[in-house]
Amino acid sequence: MGKENYALKVRGVVTAGGDEDKQVFVPLAWLQEAVGRQGKVSRLEVSALTMPKNDLARKAEELGPDALSRQEFETWYCSPFVDSVAYQIEEVIPGAWARPIRQVAESEGAILSKVQLLMALLALAATVSSVLGISSLMGAAALERSREVGLLKALGAYDSSVIWLFLAEACLIGVIGGAAGLIAGFGLAKFVGQNVFGTAISIKALTVPAGFAIAIGVTMLGSLSAARTVSRLQPARILVGSYTNG
Amino acid sequence: MGKRWFMLRLVSFALIRRKSRVAIAFIAIVLGVAIVSGLADVYYDIGQKMTRELRTYGANLVLTPASPENQPYLALHEISGIAARVPPRQLVGYSPYLYGIVETTSHQIVLAGTDFSQISRVSPYWKIAGDAPDKRGQSALVGEALAKKLGITAGDRLELTAEGGQTAAVVVAGILSSGGKEDNLVFVDLDLAARLLNRPDTANVAYFSIATDPAQLESLVRSLKTEFPTIEASLIRQVSQAEGRVLVKIQSLVLLAVAIILLLTLLCLVITMVNITLERRREIGLRKALGGQDQDVMLEFVIEGAALGFAGGILGWVLGLLVAQGIGQSVFHAPIAVRLPILPLAIVLATGLAALAAFIPAKIAARVQPAIVLRGE
C-alpha cells in the first residue's frame, strides 16, 4: 500500500481533559475512504438511557445471563439495564464485544438512587406538612359551625348523623380540592421539568387516584376530630351563646 | 408591679387552662419548625454530600508532565507534594501510574504500575473478578479484553520481561473490567513496575479524586500551575462538567421542595394561631366589658403567641436535628453538618409569626363592641 498525502484544514482545537486531547478528529466517511475500509469502524460508543441496577441486574452481572431462570432472563432481557443493552448489541452485531463503560454506568446508578431516595423523603416531609395544614384548616372550619350543629341537634339529629354530615362534606371538599390540587400539581411538575431539566416530566397515571385518596383522606381525618368535639356539645349551651372553647 | 404580675398570671393561666387547644397549636409550631429547620440543614449540606457521592465517577483531576519532550516523567515526591496541598478532608484519593511495554512469553503488553490500595477510592467503578491484589504479593490485575485475547484467567502466572532485561513473575489475582482503556492493560504494584522498567520514583501520570465543587477545583488547578510549573494539572472535563450540571439540578430541585414545604408549614402555623385566638373572642369581649384596655388585651395575646412560638421554635429546632440526621443517615449514610445559625432563625421566625398570627385576630376582636360578642353573634 503506497503512501498518499492529504491536506486537511484544522477547524478547531478540542479540549476534553482525556485521551481525546492527543487525537485528531476527521469525518468518518473520509477516513474510511482514505484507509480503504469502507463501511467499517473499529469502535462504537453508544449513549443509552438505562435504568439503575436492581437485584436481578446484579445477579445477571455476577453469574452471567445464562444462569438466570427463563422468567428472570425475560425480565432482564426486556428491561433497559446497561448489561442487557450490551447483551442485545452483541446479538445484533455478530462478532462484536459490547461492554458497559463502568465509570458512567456505575456512578449514574449510585447517584440516581440517592437522588430518588432524597426526593422521596422530601415528598414525605411535604405530605406531613400538608396534612398538618389541611387538618388544622378543616378543624377550624368545623368548629366555626358549632351553632349550626347545636340547631341540628336541637331538631333531633344524632351525634353520629352530625359526624356523618361533616365527613360527607369533607369528602366532597376533598374531591373538589383534590381535583384542583392535581391540576395545580401537574402545572408545577411541568414548570419544574422545564426549568430544572429542560424537558417535560412524564405524568404517572397513578398520581391521579393517589392524589384524590390523599386529599379525601386528609380532609376527612382533619374534620373528624373537630366534628366529634362539636357533636358532643350540648345544643342548649351552644344556642344560648354561652359556649366558649377550652 | 401589680399589673405586670397580673399579666403573667393571665398568660400562664391561658396557656395551662386551655391545654388541648394550646397543645394543638404548639404541636403545629414544633412540627413545622422541625421540618423546615431539618430540611434547611439538609439543603446547606447537600452540595458537600453530593460532591462526595459523585466521587463514584472516579478521578476529576489529572497530573501530567508540563513539557513531555524534555521531562516525560513526574517525580513521586512532587505528586505527594501536590497531594499535601489539597485539604485532607477533600482528598478522596490519588493514584500515580507508570506505563511501559513489557513482554510475556508470547506477546508484548502494556504494563501499568499503580498503588493498589487507592483503587477503591480513585476508581470505585472498576469490577474485579477474582481477588483484589495485595501490595507485597507480586500480584497483578489483567484487563478483561487483554485477558480474553491472551486466554489469561485469575490464578495464572505471568513472566514479564522488560526491554532492559529485567524480569519479574507475577500471579494474576483478578480480571479487571472497566469498559475503558484499562481493559487492555496489565496492572502491577508501582514499585514492581518501577524496578522492571528501571524508572524508580517516577510516574507518567497521576489521577486525583477531590471532593469539592467545580469552582474550587478550577482555582486549585490555577494555583497548582503557578506553584508547580513542571507539572500540568488539568480537570477531567467529562467528569467535572457532568458533576457540575448534576449538582446544580439536584440543588435547585431540593431548594424548590424546601421552599414549598416552608410556605405550607408557615401557612399552617399562622392558621392554627389565628384559630385559637378567634375562639377567644368572647373572652376578649368579657375583658373589655370589665374595663380592660384594648392595648392590654392585645398585648396579652401577643405575649401568649410569642411564648408559644419561642418554646416551639427551640423544641422544633431540636426535632429538626433528628429530621436532618434521619435523612442524612438514610440517604448518604453520613451525618448532616449542623448549622447553628439556623437556631436563632428558627426561634425568631416561630416567635414572630406566632405573635403576629395572634395579634391580627386579637386586634379585630378588640375592636368589636363587647355587648355584641357577649350576646353570641
State residue A244's pLDDT score: 46
Mark yes or no for CB contact A133/B24 under 8 Å.
Answer: no
Can you give the length of chain B in residues?
Answer: 377
Residue of B nearest to A14 (CA): B237
User: What ipTM score was computed for the predicted complex, to two decimals?
Assistant: 0.72
For the cut 90, the answer to whether the pLDDT of residue B315 exceeds it is yes
Residues of chain A contacting residue B253, judged by C-beta atoms under 8 Å apart: 115, 119, 192, 196
State residue A114's pLDDT score: 84
- Going by C-alpha positions, the residue among B308, B299, B293 that lies closest to residue B18 is B308
Distances (CA, A) of B115 to A164, A170, B63, B95, B104: 73, 67, 16, 6, 22
Q: What is the mean pLDDT of residues B136-143?
A: 83
Taking all residues of chain B, what is their mean pLDDT, rounded to a whole number?
85
Q: Which of B256, B322, B333 to mutate to test the interface with A (most CBs of A within 10 A)?
A: B256
Residue span(s) of chain B under CATH 2.40.40.20 come to 60-235
Q: Is A102 on the interface with B (CB under 8 A)?
A: yes
- Going by C-alpha positions, the residue among B290, B300, B314, B309 that lies closest to residue B370 is B290
Mark yes or no for CB contact A245/B18 under 8 Å.
Answer: yes
Mark yes or no for CB contact B330/A100 under 8 Å.
Answer: no
Q: B338 falls in which pLDDT band (50, 70, 90)? A: confident
State residue A52's pLDDT score: 80
State residue B376's pLDDT score: 57
Taking the CA of residue A116 and the nearest CA in chain B, the distance in Å comes to 9
State residue B17's pLDDT score: 64
Q: What is the mean pLDDT of residues B289-314?
A: 87
Q: Which CATH class is domain B60-235?
A: mainly beta
Residues of chain A contacting residue B127, judged by C-beta atoms under 8 Å apart: 61, 102
Could you say which of B53, B180, B327 has the minimum Cβ distance to residue A110?
Answer: B53
Q: B243 falls in which pLDDT band (50, 70, 90)? A: confident
State residue B97's pLDDT score: 93
Evaluate whether B260 touches B250 at the Cβ level (below 8 Å): no
Q: What is the mean pLDDT of residues B83-88?
A: 88
Question: Which tops the pLDDT comparison, A201 or B375?
Answer: A201
β-pairing, B167-177 vs B91-103, is unpaired
Mark yes or no for CB contact A103/B145 under 8 Å.
Answer: no
What are the pLDDT digits (tens) for B97-135? 999 999 988 889 999 999 888 888 888 888 888 887 876
State residue A240's pLDDT score: 66
Q: What is the mean pLDDT of residues B83-94?
A: 89
β-pairing, B186-189 vs B108-114, is parallel
State residue B18's pLDDT score: 67
Scanning A179-208 for CB atoms below 8 A from B yields 192, 195-197
- Going by C-alpha positions, the residue among B125, B126, B51 that lies closest to residue B91 is B51
> What's the half-sphere exposure (Cβ side, CA atoms, 13 Å) at A136?
29
So where are chain A's domains? 19-100, 123-245
Longest C-alpha distance within chain A, in Å?
113
Evaluate whether B232 touches B64 at the Cβ level (below 8 Å): yes
What the block records as the C-alpha cell of A196 is 430544572
- Going by C-alpha positions, the residue among B188, B178, B197 that lies closest to residue B158 is B188
Q: Which of A101, A143, A245 to mutate to test the interface with B (most CBs of B within 10 A)?
A: A245
Q: What is the mean pLDDT of residues B318-331?
A: 91
What are the pLDDT digits (tens) for A184-232? 989 988 888 888 788 888 888 888 998 889 888 888 877 777 777 777 7
Q: In A145-158, which ranges are continuous DSSP H helix?
A: 146-154
State residue B112's pLDDT score: 92
Q: Which of A42, A43, A103 to mutate to test the interface with B (most CBs of B within 10 A)?
A: A103
Q: What is the mean pLDDT of residues B22-49?
A: 85
What are the pLDDT digits (tens) for B144-183? 999 988 888 888 888 888 888 888 889 898 999 888 888 8
State residue B287's pLDDT score: 81
Q: Is A120 on the interface with B (CB under 8 A)?
A: no
Q: Is A46 on the interface with B (CB under 8 A)?
A: no
Residue of A nearest to B261 (CA): A126
Taking the CA of residue A236 and the nearest CA in chain B, the distance in Å comes to 13
Q: What is the mean pLDDT of residues B73-84?
A: 89
Residue of A nearest to B51 (CA): A111
Q: What is the pLDDT along chain A (246 residues), one digit of tens a residue?
A: 567 888 889 999 988 777 788 889 999 999 998 888 888 898 888 888 888 888 888 888 878 888 888 888 888 998 888 888 988 998 898 888 888 888 777 777 878 888 888 888 888 888 887 777 777 777 777 777 777 888 888 888 888 888 888 888 888 988 999 999 999 989 988 888 888 788 888 888 888 998 889 888 888 877 777 777 777 777 776 666 544 443
